[in-house]
């Protein structure tokens, strides 16, 4: 029996040693697994940091590009308008040269009128600018500025008697009111 007990004890000790070895291996394996997971997480964090830095740099470059495009848009906003006005400007120079060489005032006047018509046509067709001269029309304070008011017989409402300066509308919006003399019905 003692032999049997010794064998049992040996087996128990042997089993315990095996158990301990397995536990040690398990602990080593778990530690190794945790180290591997930490390494993977560190790589993931580094990758995310890199991605975040790249996106921040890309956003900054986008902001710079948009700022530059906006500055250029403002700087060159009137380029087309100025290009359209170059021909009439050249024609005015020609009119001045012609005025220096001739005394034919009627021809000079005709040339200047042609340049004025050219300007009005360009500004109307290409840019939506229209002039208005409301002489004889009912006075409208939203489009007109009364510079003088006189009482007149025969008027039943306030009427524009004379236009000092034409008014201008850009795409239908008044950008300069017409400056006018307003006739007011005579009060009895």
Phi, psi of 162 (to 5 degrees): -150, 150
Residue 154 confidence (pLDDT): 87
Cross-strand bridge partners of residue 132 = 167
Residue 146 confidence (pLDDT): 95
Q: How far apart are CA 139 and CA 120, in angstroms?
A: 25
**Under DSSP, is residue 142 helix (H, G, I), strand (E, B) or coil?**
coil
Q: How far apart are CA 82 and CA 115, in angstroms?
A: 15
Residue 7 confidence (pLDDT): 58
Q: Which CATH number fits domain 130-188: 2.40.110.10, 3.40.50.300, 3.40.50.970, 2.30.22.10?
A: 2.30.22.10
Q: How far apart are CA 117 and CA 127, in angstroms?
A: 15
Phi, psi of 157 (to 5 degrees): -150, 170
Residue 71 confidence (pLDDT): 94
Residue 19 confidence (pLDDT): 64
Residue 144 confidence (pLDDT): 96
Q: How far is CA 34 from the centre of its chain?
A: 54
Phi, psi of 108 (to 5 degrees): -65, -45
Q: How far apart are CA 15 and CA 9, in angstroms?
A: 9
Question: What stretch of H or E contains 126?
Answer: helix 105-127
Domains of the chain, residue spans: 1-76, 78-127, 130-188
pTM: 0.61
pLDDT in tens, the chain (188 residues): 556 666 556 556 666 666 666 666 666 688 889 999 999 999 999 999 999 999 999 999 999 999 999 999 999 988 999 999 999 999 989 888 888 888 888 988 998 999 999 999 999 999 999 999 999 999 999 999 999 999 988 888 999 999 999 999 999 999 999 999 999 998 76
Residue 171 confidence (pLDDT): 94
């Amino acid at each position: 029996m003692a032999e049997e007990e010794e064998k049992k004890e040996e087996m128990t000790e042997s089993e315990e040693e095996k158990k301990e070895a397995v536990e040690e291996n398990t602990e080593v394996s778990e530690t190794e697994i945790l180290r591997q997971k930490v390494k993977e997480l560190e790589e993931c964090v580094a990758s995310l940091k890199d991605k975040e830095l790249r996106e921040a740099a890309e956003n900054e470059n986008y902001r710079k590009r948009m700022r530059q495009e906006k500055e250029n848009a403002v700087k060159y906003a009137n380029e087309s308008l100025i290009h359209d006005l170059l021909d009439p400007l050249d024609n005015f120079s020609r009119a001045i040269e012609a005025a220096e060489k001739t005394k034919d005032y009627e021809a000079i006047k005709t040339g200047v009128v042609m340049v004025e018509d050219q300007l009005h046509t360009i500004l109307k067709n290409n840019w939506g600018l229209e002039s208005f001269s409301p002489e004889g029309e009912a006075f409208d304070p939203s489009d007109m500025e009364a510079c003088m008011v006189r009482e007149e017989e025969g008027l039943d409402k306030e009427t524009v008697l004379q236009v000092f300066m034409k008014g201008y509308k850009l795409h239908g919006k008044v950008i300069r009111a017409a400056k006018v003399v307003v006739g007011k019905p005579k009060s009895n």
